[in-house]
Amino acid sequence: MIPIDSAMEGMRFNLHKLEQLLKPRGYTIGGNWDYDKGFFDYKMDDEGGYQFLRIPFTAVEGQLDRRGAIVELGKPFVLNHVYQRGLDDHVDVGNVTASFNQFQEPEDPDGSVKDKYVSTARNMVKRLEALLIN
């Protein structure tokens, strides 16, 4: 994980309006969200894993699954998830959900990040700052 300094850090937005700005630009709300925090993810590449620019946010008013939630942006960072190839070696067949969980455990949830992705992420953050900071 490589943190990226940004003027967006600490800014507050209505979550719905922020989604309307970011989703058309390729950002998604990552699957690892909770009622009070989450991430906007931009998948930059899938070379040797998945390289993401991740923008964390925390609810400061309301809950994320409710209309009108206000969120505060955290420090953006670049992340590389390196996934195993082949079968998951940690499947518990006795577990009822194991037969439905098709996702593998990451080989390295915080793999090294190539300089080109850090550079790309910094440029993307600058573009987001231009969009969000009026």
Helix axis angle, 15-22 to 115-132, nearest 10°: 120
Q: What is the pLDDT of residues 91-130, one digit of tens each?
A: 555 554 444 444 444 444 455 788 898 999 999 999 999 9
CA dist 8 and 56 (Å) reads 11
Token pair listed for 127: 């573009």
2-132 CATH fold: TATA-Binding Protein (3.30.310)
Report yes or no: 68 and 13 within 8 Å, Cβ to Cβ: no
Q: What is the pLDDT of residue 9?
A: 97
* All structural domains of the chain with their residue ranges: 2-132
Q: What is the pLDDT of residue 108?
A: 45
Q: Alpha carbon 122 to chain centroid distance? A: 15
User: Which is nearest to 45 in space by CA: 129, 118, 123, 126?
Assistant: 118
Q: What is the pLDDT of residues 21-79, one digit of tens each?
A: 999 999 999 777 788 999 999 999 987 778 999 999 999 999 888 889 999 999 999 98
Instruction: Name residue 131's amino acid.
Output: L
Task: Please say if the pLDDT value at position 87 is more than 80.
Answer: no
CA dist 107 and 89 (Å) reads 11
